[in-house]
């Protein structure tokens, strides 16, 4: 199977920003349901906008919370439409937020995902080593109105249809990796915005673990908020096919350049 023939509708060929060795990146919107064929993705890994005022080039990240949840409902439904039966979905989201008012983001997005059809499997707690810099305490040293902020994020593990895959594929995960990563508490540092050149990158370790734990070699991985191309890089290096969707053309170019630079240093060809 090749991505170009079997996954994409190719309705707007000029929005294909990058195509290399079964790695495809679209400069398009996750809200465009017609972009990909239904039943075409094996694994989705993404971290969507958190609606906390991050300054993205092409996305408003400070909408009314109800509007934000409606936006999430649409793109979660599109991902479900594109996913194969048996597909997995690793969704990196905050546990909660207090910017613009206290909101239970993780719980709310979990419920929306289930309503559009996704089934819940488990939640991985990501203990991000550099997330603990506090900027708000509420009422200092007082019970009046303190803020409680957990220095973790969630990786929500969802699936479509049945959890057990109905076909046999090649797994490439090692024994110690499997033992460590099936422990639902993952501890590794976040990524530097300045080093990557993107306002909200996640570290390569996150998609690497999800790819090896939840997919077979050659499976099709998708990141519908492809950002700086981290999932694209790890998909290629771990011999998976990839399709990314990124609204901002500047981030698409960043992804392309970063991808080519890294695989030149680290990766061989994936035929």
- pLDDT exceeds cutoff 50 at 6: yes
pLDDT at 184: 95
Structural domains of the chain sorted by starting position, each given as residue range(s) with its CATH number in brackets: 3-135+144-266 (3.40.50.150)
Which residue, among 59, 30, 48, has the nearest Cα to 105 in the 3D structure?
Answer: 48
- pLDDT exceeds cutoff 80 at 49: yes
> Average pLDDT of the chain?
85
Strand segments, DSSP code E, in the chain are 16-20, 23-27, 41-46, 83-94, 119-128, 153-159, 185-188, 220-223, 241-246
Region 114-137 average pLDDT: 83
pLDDT in tens, 171-203: 999 999 999 999 999 999 875 566 665 556 688
pLDDT in tens, 69-84: 999 999 999 999 999 9
pLDDT at 69: 92
pLDDT at 54: 44
100 Rama sector, left if φ>0, alpha if ψ -120 to 50, beta otherwise: left
C-alpha angle with apex 175: 169 to 176, nearest 5 degrees? 135
What are the tokens at 229? Answer: 């191309």
The answer to whether 160 and 85 have CB atoms below 8 angstroms apart is yes
Region 1-28 average pLDDT: 70
**Cα–Cα separations (whole angstroms), residue 87 to 102, 118, 221, 253:** 32, 10, 10, 29
When pLDDT is cut at 50, 70 and 90, the band that residue 234 belongs to is very high
Q: Which residue has the higher pLDDT, 133 or 95?
A: 95
Predicted structure pTM score: 0.88
Q: Where is average pLDDT lowest: 18-22, 87-91, 216-220?
A: 18-22
């Amino acid at each position: 199977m090749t991505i170009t023939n079997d996954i994409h509708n190719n309705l707007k060929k000029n929005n294909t920003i990058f195509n290399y060795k079964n790695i495809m990146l679209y400069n398009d919107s996750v809200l465009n349901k017609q972009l990909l064929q239904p039943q075409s993705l094996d694994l989705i890994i993404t971290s969507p906008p958190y609606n906390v005022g991050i300054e993205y080039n092409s996305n408003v990240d400070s909408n009314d919370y109800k509007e934000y949840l409606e936006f999430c409902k649409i793109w979660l439904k599109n991902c479900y439409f594109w996913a194969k039966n048996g597909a997995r979905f690793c969704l990196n989201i905050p546990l909660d937020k207090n910017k613009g008012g206290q909101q239970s983001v993780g719980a709310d997005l979990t419920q929306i995902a289930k309503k559009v059809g996704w089934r819940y499997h488990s939640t991985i707690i990501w203990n991000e080593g550099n997330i603990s810099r506090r900027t708000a305490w509420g009422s200092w040293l007082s019970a009046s109105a303190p803020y409680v902020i957990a220095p973790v994020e969630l990786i929500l593990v969802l699936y479509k249809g049945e959890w057990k895959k109905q076909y046999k594929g090649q797994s490439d995960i090692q024994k110690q990796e499997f033992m460590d990563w099936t422990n639902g508490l993952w501890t590794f540092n976040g990524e530097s915005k300045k080093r990557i050149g993107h306002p909200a990158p996640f570290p390569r370790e996150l998609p690497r673990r999800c790819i090896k734990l939840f997919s077979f070699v050659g499976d099709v991985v998708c990141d519908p908020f492809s950002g700086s191309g981290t999932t694209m890089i790890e998909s290629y290096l771990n011999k998976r096919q990839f399709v990314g969707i990124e609204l901002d053309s500047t981030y698409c170019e960043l992804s392309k350049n970063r991808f080519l630079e890294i695989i030149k240093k680290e990766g061989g060809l994936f035929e």
